Amino acid sequence: NAGVTQTPKFQVLKTGQSMTLQCAQDMNHEYMSWYRQDPGMGLRLIHYSVGAGITDQGEVPNGYNVSRSTTEDFPLRLLSAAPSQTSVYFCASSRWDSEQYFGPGTRLTVT
């Protein structure tokens, strides 16, 4: 199993540009989520999904969209990037009663 994969690993955007961060898992996990990690702020939940076709907002959803058309994929879209979205983004997945596995992360810089 590849586990949780994320692409790209690094990205630089200009303010106002849009992009999609990709996340996939091959463990047939129901639950998937996106976090952002900023210095001193821990891991903050952006959006999460409890299954294909079902998504919900986390703590910091503004400026981000998600969709879950399949069990395996959970892309995160930035519609109009802002410098405040400079961060490291982690995707994670789990079953209902097991540990949450994290992807390797995407380091995003918005100039």
Partner 1 sequence: GENVEQHPSTLSVQEGDSAVIKCTYSDSASNYFPWYKQELGKRPQLIIDIRSNVGEKKDQRIAVTLNKTAKHFSLHITETQPEDSAVYFCAASERGSTLGRLYFGRGTQLTVWP
Interacting residues with partner 1 (CB under 8 A) = 31, 33, 35, 40-45, 48, 50, 58, 90, 94, 96-97, 99-100, 102-105
Nearest-approach distance from CB 111 to partner 1, in angstroms: 22
Find, among 101, 95, 74, 99, the residue nearest to 29 by Cα.
Answer: 95
CB nearer to partner 1: give 17 or 61: 61
Nearest-approach distance from CB 103 to partner 1, in angstroms: 7
Taking a C-beta distance cutoff of 8 angstroms, is the pair 95, 32 a contact?
Answer: no
CA distances in angstroms from 50 to 16, 31, 32, 38, 39, listed in the order given:
30, 5, 7, 25, 28
Nearest-approach distance from CB 84 to partner 1, in angstroms: 18
CB nearer to partner 1: give 14 or 42: 42
Placement of tokens 């918005």 in the chain = 110
